[in-house]
Structure 1
Amino acid sequence: MDIRQLRYFLAIAEEGQITSAAKKLQMAQPPLSQQLKQLEEELGVKLVERGPRSVHLTDAGEMLRRRAQQIIELADSTSREISDFGKGLNGTLPIGTVSSSGATLLTDRLSEFNRTYTGVKFEIHEGNTFRIIELLKSGIIEVGIVRTPFHTTDLEIKYAESEPMIAVMHPDYDLNPQQESIKIHELRDRPLIIYRRFEQLIRDTCRKSDFEPDVFCKNDDARTTLLWANAGLGIGIIPKSALKLASHNQLIYKEIQSEALRTRIAAVWAKDRYLSTLARKFIESFGEE
């Protein structure tokens, strides 16, 4: 039994068909079937039950699938680690970021990191927090830059500093020009433009002040909130650092005086998975413990 055979077996297990697995592996079906037969003979157990259109793993096959995944992941991690050692601090670092962290990540993190490690290149994947965590768990990225709140299961986390949420608005919506901040109850009966994943948090906070928020627009990108607020359609609620995404000079903002409406950017990576030297150095440079 070798790594190649385990990769073949995993492809069959994942595809549920020898024909589909052969296409995925870019090989003919008969040699793949022969490899499976040789593996079963070597181990002395039946690994799959063959049906007319698909195959199903036996109990022994399920056991081998779990072990094979561990063995191949370890082999791949070892290969990357040795490759990293040979390259030093060079290569490409795949990172996932949420849109509301983009400006802060660029100005406060990547610029400094790039000055220190000039041989590093970056591959950036953008999406919402849930999408970034999916990319992380699937191994497409090594480090995700996400925003609280999120589920922390199976993740290692390093937080940046806490920041308030702010109300952004066209001057026509500013009823108290002298104030630099507002209390949550001042948003009563005002049309709000919010990021969808903060909806429950915002609703709960407003309800604690005895009112139901008037949500005029929900969206999935802080830039949309800024655009709609700039058009005078309502008052946007965003993390303060996301204001750096704005290019609209007429927008004004006021910090919302609410401990509940504070958020943090965090660097996350998968527990018990190999991290490249580049990823470890980037995490070391990020935020607070």
Structure 2
Amino acid sequence: MEIRQLKYFLAIAEAGQITKAAARLHITQPPLSQQMILLEKELGVQLIERTKKHITLTESGYILQNRAEQILELIHTTMDEIREAANGISGKLTIGTITSSGRSLIPEFIQKFHQTYPKISFDVRLGDSRRILELLNAGVIEIGLVRLPIDISLYNYISLPQENMVIVALPDAIKSEDKETLSFDKIKNYPLLIHRRYETIISDYCSQAGFEPNVLCTSDDTTSLLIWAKLGLGIAIVPETTVNLLQDSPLLVQKPTSPAIVTVAAVIWLKKHTLSTAAAHFLEMFKETNAGL
């Protein structure tokens, strides 16, 4: 099994057609088809199911697609590290980040990092904490920014300052004299929109306040919850930084009290994993920048 064959296979998997994949690879269709036949023969399994219009991956094909992406990413990382050793600090830094911080904290820090290390380029992936952990475990990224908790037996981490969870709703959705804070028990009669990651903690807080939450929607996407709140379907409880995901929004933001709810984000990386030079310098600067926080 050759690296070239893995690249060919991934091109076919992404294009859904051998003809389209051949065009993307700037080769003709017959040699591409022949390489796939040879790859299947070598592995002793069928990787793709062919029809006249398109191809689909078999179960074995999906496994190879996942592994091929990891293998090629590792090869690219290795090549970057070799170049770094020869040419100084350069290469590509692969980062995964939760959506809210990816649009606020990360760009500001990367601006500072880029000024210090202008030869380093970036590959930034967005997703929820679960997706970022998957990418980190698969070796697709080196550094992740996620919400705690995490398994500290698997990851090193740098905690960021605590962040308030806030209640977000249309201005007339909740009757309250205080437009900045809101007693938590005042939301007991309203439908709630919450992120799946915070479902347990919010339910616990509701129980402490003496009521069972009326959860209208749980989601893995904070932006969707804010849109639902904007449509008047309920009130969202989200980390404070995420309210900026909707521009020019009419939503009212209030900090719950009695009790207040907080969440913590952290920069993480795998234990027992040798970081690239770019990643190591990124973490070193991140530690220095956040040392006083």
**Superposition TM-score, scaled by structure 2 size:** 0.68
| Per-residue deviation, 1:174 | 3.5
Aligned partners of 2:265, 2:135: CA distance in 1, in Å? Answer: 17
The alignment partner of 1:109 has SS state of helix
Structure 1 position 119, deviation (Å): 2.2
How far apart, in 2, do the equivalents of 1:25 and 1:281 lie?
Answer: 43
Residues 107, 135 of structure 1: CA spacing in aligned structure 2 closer, same or farther, 3 A cutoff?
closer
Q: Secondary structure at the match of 1:161?
A: coil
Deviation, structure 1 residue 131? 1.5
- Deviation readout 1:82-136 (Å, 9 max, x if unpaired): 4322242222111111123222234432222223322222112222211111111
What fraction of aligned residue pairs are identical, expressed as a percent? 34
Decide whether aligned partners of structure 1 residues 232 and 143 sit closer, same or farther in structure 2, where only a CA change above 3 A counts.
same
Residue pairs, 1:83-232, within 5 angstroms: 83-232=83-232
Number of equivalent positions: 227
Amino acid of the residue matched to residue 211 of structure 1? Answer: F
Q: 2 CA distance for matches of 1:77 and 1:113?
A: 19
RMSD over aligned Cα atoms = 3.0
Residue in structure 1 matched with residue 243 of structure 2 by the alignment: 243
Question: Shift of residue 79 of structure 1?
Answer: 6.8
- Are the aligned partners of 1:142 and 1:279 in contact in 2 as well (CA < 8 Å)? yes
> Is residue 184–residue 258 contact of structure 1 (8 Å, CA) maintained in 2?
yes
Q: Post-superposition shift, 1:148?
A: 1.7
Q: In 2 relative to 1, CA 77–234 (structure 1 residues): closer, same or farther, beyond 3 Å?
A: closer
Separation in 1 of the partners of 2:40 and 2:216?
55
Deviations 1:22-58 (A, max 9, x none): 979959749x9xxxxxxxxxxxxxxxxxxxxxxxxxx
Which secondary structure state, in structure 2, belongs to the residue aligned with residue 151 of structure 1?
A: coil
Separation in 1 of the partners of 2:160 and 2:37? 41
**What is the identity, as a one-letter code, of the residue corresponding to 2:85?**
F
Using the alignment, how far apart are the partners of 1:89 and 1:258 within structure 2? 50
Q: Can you give the 5+ residue segments of structure 2 that lack an aligned partner in the other structure?
A: 3-34, 45-74
The code of the aligned residue for 1:188 comes to: K
- Aligned partner of 1:14 in structure 2 is none
Counterparts of 2:107 and 2:125, CA distance in 1:
17
Look at both structures and tell me which one has the larger radius of gyration over its CA atoms.
Answer: 1
3-state SS of paired residue (2:103): helix
Return closer, same or farther for 1:227/1:27 CA change in 2, 3 Å cut-off.
closer
Find the residue that maps to 2:110 and give its secondary structure: helix
